[in-house]
């Protein structure tokens, strides 16, 4: 067990509270293991009817995974410890996705990367005015993993492709509009809502659906048509060309998104598009996680990841030298090698 996670029960409700505020509750391997163990215990406990997932304090719900561990692994142990982290984190994601009891995630704050991986499998996903949702992985040479292929590919209007490529941040109202969140609750009401869930865990849907005021208008709705148009293709070069043409015609939004994509890893943008297109055709979340583990095992040790983390997180120079440097340089052969099956004894498997 670890002090970075607080695990309690309140009557008929299990309670998991992320407790690593200085790191915005980013997940470590020990935290994943502790969560998984608690969920396994409660799954077999008839006295527990539901689970609450939240964070103890601070402005993050969960800002992601252990990026420093992953970069150290990429540079020093040929990705071995990084693959172990991905493997077990993905087992937790799958365990939550297939859990037999309702889990209520309170996404009250930064919800990114690994935080998305533990929030989106939950039956109820509560956004607030503090929610900041994003999958910003392409900016560090990674891809929207932890089930991102499954979740994002199933959003309408090519919104998932837009989020995967640009790393755009959504607020709580936008999450509700997009279907990422199931409910919106002002943060000041969350303690009361939790207390009521603990009192009546068989009434969660009703408790969350009772009038809590009208959420603000979702700003992204105003750009929904542009997103659907410019991000329509599964071919990255087509998306860039569409934005470029609109930018040349004076569309400031298109110019901004074109410039944003110019900062991302061409390799992992192409990976993300193929990931979502493939996931959309899959029948099970387990198949999705097996695919994402294959991708993660390869992308972790390719040049862009260590370089992206250096430029964006370590040195903060924001000047990554991507390899390949252009979308045209990312060949079909390279993509095929990233998505190829692993040796049978190395493939990902559920718990």
pLDDT one-digit tens code per residue, 237-255: 999 999 999 999 999 999 9
In this prediction, residue 214 has a pLDDT band, given cuts at 50, 70 and 90, of confident
Residue written as token pair 């420093």: 68
pLDDT at 80 over 90: yes
Mean pLDDT of the chain: 96
Q: Are 268 and 138 in contact (CB under 8 A)?
A: yes
The percentage of the chain sitting over the pLDDT mark of 90, rounded to a whole number, equals: 96
306-316: pLDDT as tens digits: 999 999 999 99
Mean pLDDT value of segment 197-203: 98
Position 207 scores a pLDDT of 96
Residue written as token pair 């929904």: 224
> Which residues, at least 6 apart from 50, have a Cβ–Cβ distance to it below 8 Å?
12, 13, 14, 101, 102, 103, 104, 197, 201, 204
pLDDT at 343 over 90: yes
Pairing of strands 183-184, 5-10: unpaired
Comparing 98-112, 202-216, 325-339, the range with the smallest average pLDDT is 202-216
The CB density around residue 41, as the number of other CB atoms within 10 Å, is 13
pLDDT at 1 over 70: no
Q: Which of 181, 174, 164 is nearest to 277 (CA)?
A: 164
Q: State how far the Cα of 14 lies from the Cα of 56, in Å rounded to an integer.
A: 15
> 336 burial class (0-12, 13-18, 19+ CB within 10 angstroms)?
exposed
The catalytic residue positions are: 65, 114, 137, 145
The CB density around residue 317, as the number of other CB atoms within 10 Å, is 9
Position 57 scores a pLDDT of 87
Position 221 scores a pLDDT of 97
Position 173 scores a pLDDT of 97
Q: Are 62 and 114 in contact (CB under 8 A)?
A: yes
Q: Is the whole-model pTM more than 0.95? A: yes
Position 58 scores a pLDDT of 81
Measured over all CA atoms, what is the biggest interatomic distance in the chain, rounded to whole angstroms? 62
Hey, which CATH number is domain 5-346, 3.40.630.30, 3.30.590.10, 3.90.226.10, 3.30.479.30? 3.90.226.10
């Amino acid at each position: 067990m670890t002090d970075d996670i607080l695990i309690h029960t309140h009557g008929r409700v299990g309670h998991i509270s992320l407790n690593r505020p200085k790191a915005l509750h980013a997940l470590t391997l020990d935290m994943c293991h502790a969560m998984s163990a608690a969920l396994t215990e409660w799954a077999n406990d008839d006295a527990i009817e539901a689970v609450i997932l939240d964070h103890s304090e601070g402005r993050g719900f969960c800002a992601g995974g252990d990026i420093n561990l992953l970069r150290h692994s990429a540079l020093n142990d040929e990705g071995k410890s990084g693959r172990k982290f991905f493997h077990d984190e993905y087992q937790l994601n799958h365990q939550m996705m297939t859990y037999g009891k309702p889990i209520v995630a309170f996404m009250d704050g930064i919800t990114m990367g690994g935080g998305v991986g533990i929030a989106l499998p939950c039956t109820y996903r509560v956004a607030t005015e503090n929610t900041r949702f994003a999958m910003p992985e392409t900016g560090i040479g990674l891809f929207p993993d932890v089930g991102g292929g499954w979740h994002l590919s199933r959003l309408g209007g090519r919104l998932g492709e837009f989020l995967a490529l640009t790393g755009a941040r959504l607020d709580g109202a936008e999450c509700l509009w997009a279907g990422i969140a199931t409910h919106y609750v002002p943060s000041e009401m969350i303690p009361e809502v939790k207390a009521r869930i603990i009192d009546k865990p068989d009434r969660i849907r009703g408790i969350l659906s009772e009038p809590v005021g009208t959420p603000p208008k979702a700003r992204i709705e105003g750009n929904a048509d542009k997103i659907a148009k410019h991000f329509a293709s599964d071919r990255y070069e087509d998306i860039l060309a569409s934005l470029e043409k609109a930018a040349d015609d004076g569309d400031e939004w298109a110019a901004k998104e074109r410039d944003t994509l110019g900062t991302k890893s061409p390799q992992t943008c192409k990976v993300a598009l193929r990931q979502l297109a493939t996931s959309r055709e899959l029948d099970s979340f387990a198949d999705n996680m097996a695919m994402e583990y294959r991708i993660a095992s390869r992308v972790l040790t390719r040049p862009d990841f260590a370089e992206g983390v250096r430029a964006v997180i370590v040195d903060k120079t924001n000047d990554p030298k991507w390899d390949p440097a252009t979308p045209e340089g990312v060949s079909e052969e390279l993509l095929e090698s990233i998505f190829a099956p692993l040796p049978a004894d190395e493939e990902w498997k559920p718990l």
